[in-house]
Structure 1
Amino acid sequence: MNERFFVKDLDDKGFFVARDGSILNELFHPEKENLPLSFSIAYGMVEPKSATKPHRLNQPEIYLFLHGQGVFRTDADRFYPIKAYSLVYVPAGCLQWVENPAEEPLSFLCIVSPPWKAEWENEENL
C-alpha cells in the first residue's frame, strides 16, 4: 500500500474571508495537500451578530455545525434552526446563507464534492 497518513493542525495562518463573508480555513484539499480525495473540507466561522451573503455553488455541500447556534436559510421563505451537531445537506445550485444572531461565533465544517475552487465564487453566484 502506497498511501500515507497526513496530519494538519488548524492554525491562524490558513484563515481567509470568503466572498460570502464567512471566515474559512481549508483543512484538506486534494490539490493543495496532494491527497487522493474526491472532496475538500474546510473549517468555517460566522462572526456574532452577522450573516453570510446569499450564494450558491454548482456542487453539493454538507455542513456540520460544531459550536454556536443560528439559522440556515435556503431561500426567502425557508429557514432551519441550527446548533452544534446540526448537519445540513445543500443540493447543487441551491441558494443558501447562514445567519448568526448570537453573541458567540458559529463554527462549522464544510465538505464540498468535487473539491471547492475559488473561481466557483463568482458574482453570479453571490
Structure 2
Amino acid sequence: MSIIQNSKIDSIEGGEGVKIKEYFNPDNTLNQINYSIAQCSLDVGKKTKLHKIKSSDIYYILEGKGNFKINEEVFCLEKYDSAHVPPNSKQFIENIGSDNLSFLCIVEPAWKAEDDEILEE
C-alpha cells in the first residue's frame, strides 16, 4: 500500500510548460505499477508546448476550461471531462478560461522524461 499526501509533494515545471505534482509512478511507489498519475495546472491564458510521448495519456479536467489539441483535432474540455491521447500523438492544452486549469494526467506505461518529445520552443 502507498499513501501519497498532496501537501508533501513538491511541484515541478514540466518541459512542456505545465506545473506538475506527480502522485504515483513506479519510481516512488512500493507496489509494482505500470502507470503514473500527476496533477497538473496551467495559468490563465497559458498553453503547453506542442509535444508527444511514447505512452498513452488520459487527461481528466478537475477545474477550468481548455482547448485540447490532439493531432489535427481540437476539443473544448471543461470540469469533469476527460480525453484519451493515443501514443505518439502531437498534443497541447491551452487554458481558455478565467481560472487556472487543473487536470490529472494518467500515463500508461508510466511517464519517463526520455519518452517525452517537445516539438516547439
TM-score by length of 2: 0.90
SS of residue paired to 2:27: helix
Aligned match of 1:23: 19
Whole-angstrom distance in 2 between the partners of 1:56 and 1:122: 5
Q: By how many angstroms is 1:123 displaced?
A: 4.7
Whole-angstrom distance in 2 between the partners of 1:62 and 1:25: 16
| AA at the equivalent of 1:120 | D
Whole-angstrom distance in 2 between the partners of 1:124 and 1:87: 23
Whole-angstrom distance in 1 between the partners of 2:59 and 2:120: 18
- Give unpaired runs (5+ residues) of structure 2: none
Q: Does 1:120 align with 2:115?
A: yes
Q: Does 1:85 align with 2:80?
A: yes
Q: By how many angstroms is 1:13 displaced?
A: 4.4
Q: Does 1:67 align with 2:63?
A: yes
Whole-angstrom distance in 1 between the partners of 2:8 and 2:44: 19
The structure in which a higher percent of residues are strand is: 2
Whole-angstrom distance in 2 between the partners of 1:88 and 1:111: 10
- Give unpaired runs (5+ residues) of structure 1: none
The structure in which a higher percent of residues are helix is: 1
Whole-angstrom distance in 1 between the partners of 2:55 and 2:43: 25
TM-score by length of 1: 0.87
| AA at the equivalent of 1:115 | A
Partner deviation per Cα, 1:77-101 (whole Å, 9 max, x = no partner): 4200000111100000100000102
Out of 47, 51, 73, which is 1:51 matched to?
47
Whole-angstrom distance in 2 between the partners of 1:37 and 1:50: 32
What is the percentage of aligned positions where both structures have the same residue? 28
Q: By how many angstroms is 1:11 displaced?
A: 2.6
Aligned match of 1:40: 36
- Choose 1 or 2 for highest CA Rg: 1
